[in-house]
Amino acid sequence: MSYILDTLYGIGLKNKIKEWNINVIDKNSYSLVVYYYGYLNSSKVECTKIIYSHDTHNNHYQMAVLYAQQKWKDKVENGYNTNIEIIKNKIPMLNSKKTVLFY
């Protein structure tokens, strides 16, 4: 079983577009939270967190999904968006087509 959240986009250094993905994979006795990040159309860095169950109220998969949802929500609160066009419109270099006239 796996749980995949929508891809998020943000603005990085030098106004480059960043891409961020997160998903949860159930491995029976534990769950993996895997997220990828990097600049659009380039290689991504992969990070993995292992979640084990330590109590009887929540199983490891439920805890991993809640963890992934919170990480996703934190990114959105920090300016990331699922719509890449919104991010592109926030980048000054892509938006401004100023013409300077000299007389």
Query: What would the mean pLDDT of 48-68 be, rounded to a whole number?
Result: 88
Task: Judge whether 20 and 10 are in contact, CB under 8 Å.
Answer: yes
The reply to whether 31 falls in a domain is yes
- Residue 88 in any domain: the answer is no
Identify whether 94 is part of a domain: no
In this structure, what is the dihedral angle of CA atoms 15, 6, 24, 71, given to the nearest 10 degrees? 50
Beta partners for residue 21, in sequence order: 36
Helix (H) or strand (E) holding 92, with range, is helix 92-95
**Quick one: pLDDT at residue 92?**
75
Q: Lowest mean pLDDT: which of 25-29, 37-41, 82-86, 92-96?
A: 92-96
Please indicate, yes or no, if residue 18 is contained in any of the structural domains.
yes
Model pTM above 0.75: yes
What is the residue-averaged pLDDT of the chain? 89
Structural domain span for residue 71: 2-83
41-57 per-position pLDDT tens digit: 999 999 999 999 876 66
Quick check: is 91 in a domain?
no
- C-alpha span between 52 and 89 (Å, rounded): 41
> Considering the domain boundaries, does residue 46 fall inside one?
yes
Q: Please give the pLDDT value at position 49.
A: 97
